[in-house]
Structure 1
Amino acid sequence: MLKDVIATRYITPLREGGSLPGLVEADDLGTYVMKFTGAGQGRKTLVAEVVCGELARRLGLRVPGLVTIGLDPVLGLGEPDEEVQALLKSSGGLNLGMDFLTRALGFDSLAHRVGPEEAGRIVWFDALVNNVDRSWRNPNMLVLHGELWLIDHGATMIWHHNWPGAQASAAKPYDATDHALAPFRPDIASAAAELAPLVTEELLAEVTAEIPDEWLDGEPGFDTTDALRRAYAEPLLARAAAVHDRIKGIDVTEGVGGIKGAK
């Protein structure tokens, strides 16, 4: 399970994110980017971060380490920004933290070249989880010591906002037209051949087991948290087998990306 820590100091808001994440210090002396249950889509954003972050890690992609962070709303009492104070007060209890990557820089396609193999693995993964938030406008990737790190997966798996329509939503193609790595001729076929066989029921059960129960309790239509965990796993298992054939907007030459022309 994810490591549990307690927030001891709120350092500063990170206003690059729409959900207003914050930089915090915890009782293990670590510094984390904290995402709050009281922000935006609430706990579903945190669930998406856990599922995608832990799945990406198990597939060999670089993501910051995740922890659960206990927050006492009293930390918000001295915060001068009313918006931040309200967010802290509404997020008492369990929240999510990500290792703060000191000295990491935002990805710039003009400054950092990406090989077709790595680009293919990231595009395939984003197609798997239906990540609509990795565009050239907002890459949500960091570069540290010349290596790419993936961040911010709260806008993935859109189907979990409407479970009755989840099956139909998860069956839709993935539009990679604006993907930040589309210009690097991503090798989708090789990525699919390597990664799809790894996405098994067992792996997804392991990943979804990382979701704290309290972020799943009370979801309409589900009697138990285990049933909801299976609902998270099922679309990913189905997509892994065929999503490489449903990626649109990537224009690569045959033999480099495994697909010819734009899908």
Structure 2
Amino acid sequence: MTLPSVTVTRYVTPLREGGSLPGIVEADDLGTYVCKFRGAGQGPRVLVAEVIAAGIARRLGLRTPDLVVLDLDPDLARYEADEEVQDLLTASAGANLGIDFLPGSFGFDGASDVDPTEAATVIWLDAFIANVDRSWRNPNLLRWQDDLWVIDHGASLYFHHSWPGGVGDPERFARQPWDASDHVLGSALGKVADVDADLRARLTDDVLTEVVAEVPDVWLEPVPGADSPEELRAAYVSFFAARVRSRAWLPEVAS
């Protein structure tokens, strides 16, 4: 399964909340998207993390916006007055990541109740993918149509940022603990153990293979020991499968 592909027709406005300068764009399917640019920040691996994390979230029963590949013509940069945006558009020609824009959504502020099982599932997801960016300072949760939505997972999968030197050891990632002390939904930490068995049973090797297959080839940069998209996908699956087999990373309630 691959992500649908659409063409950007208009760059609307930047979103300056984060350092990577995502932007709102319109596309030829009449959709509006938050565009994460391949030419920004840490490059395509952030987009890979977004796709994989969103795919895992869906299979755990969490809501996350639909994703598309946004084909960007760098000529759009000619119509932008902001030089920083011009440079970003020029550096991001081709395939970028589009995240469905949820009109009328608002950021989670902790004022509304969250179902304890859903909250525990979000914590489990973040621990599994080693996401370090779901704190009170930056919840990366939305409320839309009275439902909770998880967004912005580019800060997860830290392990693949070391891959330019070669694919590392999946078992090391499997053993790596995760710190839940700053999590925005930390009050549900005591329920994580209750959802653990069900959630890890959902992430079979076949399911993980399906998730990783959604990543476009163009974002899978060759590294020593994994020169092709197929080898890189197999490496991701091996890392996640090792994590599924381990309990060392599972957060526990502080005594």
Counterpart among 246, 249, 259 of residue 249 in structure 2? 246
8 Å CA contact 2:222, 2:232 repeated in 1: no
For the aligned residue pairs, the C-alpha RMSD in angstroms reads 1.5
Matches within 5 A, 1:126-165: 126-163=126-163, 164-165=167-168
Q: How high is the sequence identity, in percent, across the aligned residues?
A: 52
Q: Which amino acid aligns with 1:158?
A: Y
Q: TM-score scaled to structure 1, two decimals?
A: 0.91
Q: Secondary structure at the match of 2:138?
A: coil
**Which consecutive residues of structure 2, in runs of 5 or more, have no partner in the other structure?**
none
- The CA distance in 2 between the partners of 1:143 and 1:166, in whole Å, is 38
Superposed CA deviations along residues 128-184 of structure 1, whole A, max 9, x for unmatched, are: 100001111101000112211000010101001113444324421010000010024
Match of 1:65 in 2: 66
Q: TM-score scaled to structure 2, two decimals?
A: 0.93
Q: Give the C-alpha shift of residue 26 in structure 1.
A: 0.2
| Structure 1 residue 197 corresponds to structure 2 residue 201 | yes
Aligned residue pairs total: 250
- The CA distance in 1 between the partners of 2:93 and 2:41, in whole Å, is 15
8 Å CA contact 1:31, 1:100 repeated in 2: yes
Match of 2:89 in 1: 88
Match of 2:42 in 1: 41
Q: Secondary structure at the match of 2:11?
A: strand
- The CA distance in 1 between the partners of 2:117 and 2:245, in whole Å, is 19
8 Å CA contact 1:159, 1:166 repeated in 2: no
Q: Secondary structure at the match of 1:202?
A: helix
| Structure 1 residue 181 corresponds to structure 2 residue 182 | no
Cα distance change of structure 1 residues 123 and 72 upon mapping to structure 2, 3 Å threshold? same
Higher relative CO (Cα under 8 Å, sequence separation at least 6) belongs to 2
Q: Secondary structure at the match of 1:120?
A: helix
Q: Give the C-alpha shift of residue 57 in structure 1.
A: 1.1
Cα distance change of structure 1 residues 10 and 25 upon mapping to structure 2, 3 Å threshold? same
Q: 158-167 or 26-35, which moves further after superposition?
A: 158-167
Q: Secondary structure at the match of 1:232?
A: helix
Q: Secondary structure at the match of 1:124?
A: helix
- The CA distance in 2 between the partners of 1:122 and 1:134, in whole Å, is 9
8 Å CA contact 2:67, 2:99 repeated in 1: yes
Q: Give the C-alpha shift of residue 9 in structure 1.
A: 0.2
Q: Secondary structure at the match of 2:71?
A: strand
Cα distance change of structure 1 residues 91 and 236 upon mapping to structure 2, 3 Å threshold? same
